[in-house]
């Protein structure tokens, strides 16, 4: 039977890459994992391009590291087991633990790479089948501050509230904490015009490949001290207002709260901003002027934030200040201009919309909203008062494991917190204290190595489903291969576990059926998918949510008429710079910041199994200014120890003259002694509960 997007014989399948939020279009060709090849496909997001990770994405499908049978720990050793015996261990642990300690003694931890169907069903399994409030996911560490700020200021969180192709006409783009040259290279095709016009501007402590591209075209690099992004944005707001670049008519007609914000921003004179951030006042002025000039000549101006500015204990306020800069300039909700946040994980957008967050129900509804609870409960066929309330956020959940009143059983799906969580050694200790740790994965990740039960699940090319990319476009993921006989979908696992524990609701295991239920559950919510169908997606329709019966064509561009707030106006919110939660001092005189490299993705659990990517990335490293390296007696190419108040990391030194002398940079893809998150600070943003990944105090030592 012919399926749309699949050539007869199923030898060529049109789908999308499983890695970043750009969700590049690709074609898979072949009859088995052994001969499967990848080729790029013309699509608005990637324009026929792929990065190295995309080109090599088929390698993991045939990797000898692939798990193909359940594993159960016996006498301290993980041994192969049947599916029946493995699921019996899990079901009996859930049932006995909830009976003895209540449903909140069981927790689930999801991932931003799960399909929409699985993100939805994970939340339903947790709340309706198990009855636990203890569910969250690794997207809490990715987009939560940007989401909280967007909801605060715009009333809606969608990474890009406009199609990514709109950026192609821009003559000025300010990137705050974004390095798409390494994190999503095809994204750069949309920035060529801005770069050629000298309007690409990058705020980053490092001279990243993206910053270098900006400088090559005559653009700007705002090389700020880690943790001072909020001060930078306030200083630029000050310049926009005092030097005649503010759009007063826009502020009056489309916003509220400017006077309150200005009482703070008025204090951030350019010279003060320079002292705090390290960015010259002349550079700040030039950046604001270029944005204003591009706006005024109808050439297009955009402000985009990403993890570098968001992963702080003040991340929500930082993004709020970045939005304030865009609002002062009159950009959001205007054709050819705007503000957006660059989503990182493969389904980072859809993954945060459908209920795997501790405080959320499907459709981007609040779990504390009685009307939202009633709607979702009706779809699920359960009483609204049977649904639990908000649970703990991601780090708080992990940090509570095995403690008095904390969860005793944890199921992990699509995440590797032993490597990816802040203060990772502490999290590993908490995982080790559990009565039962269950990990569903495709390889034996560092977290899976600690598990009591490991369940092998499907990979992206072996399953059907949908994902939602960084611009709110819903996309079809299509199956190209049959999975190895020993692997199962998480949908099957949750369905069977629900049956075994006597769930009051049955859980479907067919992704199309789950998606149809998701549509009902999302109807009327902020992220409304009710008019999206697989048939429409298979027919090639471009559907951006909200997509409703009243607006069946979808909404590529939000906010053109009004914002998502009750009065339709965007909100300025008064915020001020406080700096990193942890200060450097004589003992820890440097500031460490973390990030990604081109060849690896997230915790590296997948990309470290691909030889070509391992060779391209090389071993774990730390970037250091040559003067800083010399002062502690380490040389370029030598191994050194980076030490924080929480742990230590061993890395190869890369001396870089273009790095700030007070800063070191570490990528976070490696495990063990090279684990960057042994250092990072779990201080949490009070609103988003985002940990402070991007600034912690460290010292550098020569390796004995």
Q: Among 362, 307, 19, which residue's Cα sits nearest to residue 143?
A: 307
In degrees, to the nearest 5, what angle opens at C-alpha 162 toward C-alphas 226 and 514? 100
Q: Among 354, 353, 393, 306, which residue's Cα sits nearest to residue 158?
A: 353
Residue partners of 319: CB distance under 8 A and separation at least 6: 145, 146, 148, 149, 150, 305, 309, 310, 341
Backbone angles phi, psi at 543, to 5 degrees: -115, 110
CATH class of 71-142+348-522: alpha beta
Low-confidence ranges of the chain (pLDDT < 50): 1-4, 6-10
Q: Can you spell out the DSSP letters for 291-360?
A: HHHHHHTTS-EEEEE-HHHHSSTTHHHHHHHHHHHHHHTT-TTSTTEEEEE---STTHHHHTTSS-STTE
Query: What is the predicted pLDDT for the residue at 448?
Result: 98
**Beta strands, E only, 414-542:** 436-441, 453-456, 465-468, 473-477
Token output for 458: 């499907």
CATH architecture of the domain covering 590-702? Beta Barrel (2.40)
Domain spans of the chain, in order of start = 71-142+348-522, 144-342, 590-702
Alpha-carbon span 623 to 86, nearest angstrom? 44
Query: What is the predicted pLDDT for the residue at 2?
Result: 37
- According to the 3-state scheme, what is the secondary structure of 680-703? CEEEECCCCCCEECCCEEEEEEEC
**What's the Cα-to-Cα distance from 346 to each of 20, 23, 499, rounded to whole Å?**
4, 6, 30
Q: Among 327, 337, 235, which residue's Cα sits nearest to residue 286?
A: 235
In CATH terms, is domain 144-342 a member of 3.40.228.10?
Answer: yes
Backbone angles phi, psi at 354, to 5 degrees: -120, 15
Backbone angles phi, psi at 227, to 5 degrees: 90, 5
8 Å CB contact between 419 and 604:
yes
Alpha-carbon span 342 to 520, nearest angstrom? 28
Query: What is the predicted pLDDT for the residue at 1?
Result: 34
Q: pLDDT tens for residues 28-50? A: 999 899 999 999 999 999 999 99
In this structure, the strands spanning 220-222 and 200-203 are: parallel
Q: Which one-letter DSSP state was computed for residue 483?
A: P
Residue partners of 464: CB distance under 8 A and separation at least 6: 477, 478, 479, 511, 512
Q: pLDDT tens for residues 291-316? A: 999 999 878 999 999 999 999 999 99
Q: What is the pTM of this model?
A: 0.96
Alpha-carbon span 43 to 473, nearest angstrom? 12
Alpha carbon 342 to its chain centroid, in Å, reads: 9
Q: How many beta carbons lie within 10 A of that of residue 263, not counting itself?
A: 11
- How many CA atoms within 13 Å lie on the side-chain side of 363? 27
Reduced to 3 DSSP states, what percent helix, strand and coil does the chain have, rounded to the nearest 5?
35, 20, 45
Q: pLDDT tens for residues 657-693? A: 999 999 999 999 999 999 999 999 999 999 999 999 9
Fold match between 71-142+348-522 and 590-702? no
Query: What is the predicted pLDDT for the residue at 7?
Result: 46
In degrees, to the nearest 5, what angle opens at C-alpha 162 toward C-alphas 161 and 166? 150
For the chain, report the end-to-end CA distance as a whole number of angstroms: 64
8 Å CB contact between 614 and 608:
yes
Q: Among 218, 212, 173, which residue's Cα sits nearest to residue 191?
A: 173
Which residue in this structure is represented by tokens 């990944």? 693
Query: What is the predicted pLDDT for the residue at 230?
Result: 98
8 Å CB contact between 490 and 122:
yes
Q: How many beta carbons lie within 10 A of that of residue 88, not counting itself?
A: 14
8 Å CB contact between 337 and 302:
yes
């Amino acid at each position: 039977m012919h399926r749309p997007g699949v050539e007869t014989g199923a030898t060529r399948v049109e789908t999308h890459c499983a890695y970043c939020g750009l969700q590049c279009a690709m074609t898979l060709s072949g009859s088995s994992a052994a001969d499967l090849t990848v080729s790029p496909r013309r699509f608005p997001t990637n324009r026929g391009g792929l990065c190295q990770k995309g080109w090599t994405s088929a390698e993991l499908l045939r990797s000898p590291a692939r798990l193909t049978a359940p594993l159960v720990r016996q006498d301290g050793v993980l041994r192969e087991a049947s599916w029946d015996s493995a699921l019996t261990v899990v079901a009996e642990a859930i049932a006995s633990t909830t009976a003895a300690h209540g449903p909140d003694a069981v927790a689930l931890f999801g991932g931003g790479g799960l399909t929409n169907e699985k993100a939805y069903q994970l939340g339903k399994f947790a709340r309706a089948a198990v009855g636990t409030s203890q569910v969250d996911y690794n997207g809490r560490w990715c987009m939560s501050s940007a989401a909280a700020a967007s909801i605060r200021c715009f009333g809606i969180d969608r990474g890009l509230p406009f199609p990514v192709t709109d950026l192609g006409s821009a003559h000025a783009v300010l990137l705050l904490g974004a390095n798409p040259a390494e994190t999503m290279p095809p994204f750069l095709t949309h920035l060529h015009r801005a770069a050629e016009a000298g309007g690409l501007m990058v705020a980053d402590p490092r001279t990243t490949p993206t910053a270098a591209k900006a400088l090559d075209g005559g653009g700007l690099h705002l090389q700020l001290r880690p943790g001072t992004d909020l001060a930078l944005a306030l200083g630029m707001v000050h310049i926009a207002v005092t030097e005649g670049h503010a759009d007063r008519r826009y502020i009056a007609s489309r916003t509220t709260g400017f006077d309150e914000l200005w009482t703070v921003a008025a204090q951030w004179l350019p010279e003060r901003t320079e002292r705090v951030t390290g960015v010259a006042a002349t550079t700040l002025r030039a950046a604001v002027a270029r944005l204003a000039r591009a706006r005024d000549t109808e050439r297009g101006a955009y402000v985009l934030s990403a993890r570098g500015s968001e992963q702080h204990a003040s991340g929500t306020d930082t993004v709020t200040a970045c939005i304030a800069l865009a609002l002062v300039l009159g950009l959001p909700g205007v054709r050819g201009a705007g503000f957006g946040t660059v989503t990182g994980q493969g389904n980072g957008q859809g993954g945060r919309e459908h209920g795997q967050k501790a405080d959320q129900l499907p459709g981007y509804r609040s779990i504390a909203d009685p009307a939202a609870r009633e709607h979702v409960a009706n779809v699920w066929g359960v009483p609204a008062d049977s649904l639990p309330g908000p649970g703990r956020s991601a780090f708080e959940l992990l940090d509570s494991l095995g403690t008095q009143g904390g969860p005793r059983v944890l199921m992990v799906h699509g995440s590797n917190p032993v490597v990816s969580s802040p203060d990772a050694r502490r999290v590993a200790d908490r995982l080790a204290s559990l009565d039962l740790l269950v990990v569903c994965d495709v390889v034996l990740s560092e977290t899976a190595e600690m598990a009591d039960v490991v369940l092998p699940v499907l990979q992206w090319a072996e399953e059907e489903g949908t994902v939602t990319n960084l611009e709110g476009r819903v996309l079809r993921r299509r199956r190209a291969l049959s999975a190895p006989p020993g692997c199962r979908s998480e949908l099957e696992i949750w369905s069977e576990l629900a049956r075994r524990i006597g769930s009051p609701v049955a859980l479907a295991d067919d992704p199309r059926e789950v998606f149809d239920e998701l549509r009902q559950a999302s109807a009327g919510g902020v992220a409304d998918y009710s008019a999206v169908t697989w048939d429409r997606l298979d027919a090639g329709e471009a559907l951006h949510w909200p997509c409703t019966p009243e607006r069946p064509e979808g909404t590529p561009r939000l906010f053109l008429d009004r914002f998502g707030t009750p009065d339709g106006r965007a909100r300025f919110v008064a915020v001020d710079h406080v700096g990193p939660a942890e200060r450097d001092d004589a003992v820890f005189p440097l500031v460490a910041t973390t990030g990604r490299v081109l060849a690896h993705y997230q915790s590296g659990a997948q990309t470290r199994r691909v030889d070509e990517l391992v060779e391209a990335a090389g071993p774990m490293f730390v970037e250091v200014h040559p003067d800083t390296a010399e002062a502690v007696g380490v040389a370029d190419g030598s191994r050194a120890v980076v030490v924080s108040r929480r742990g230590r990391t061993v890395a190869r030194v890369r001396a870089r003259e273009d790095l700030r002398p007070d800063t070191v940079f570490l990528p976070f893809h490696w495990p063990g002694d090279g684990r960057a998150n042994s250092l990072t600070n779990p201080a949490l943003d009070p609103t988003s509960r985002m940990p402070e990944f991007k600034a912690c105090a460290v010292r550098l030592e020569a390796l004995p």
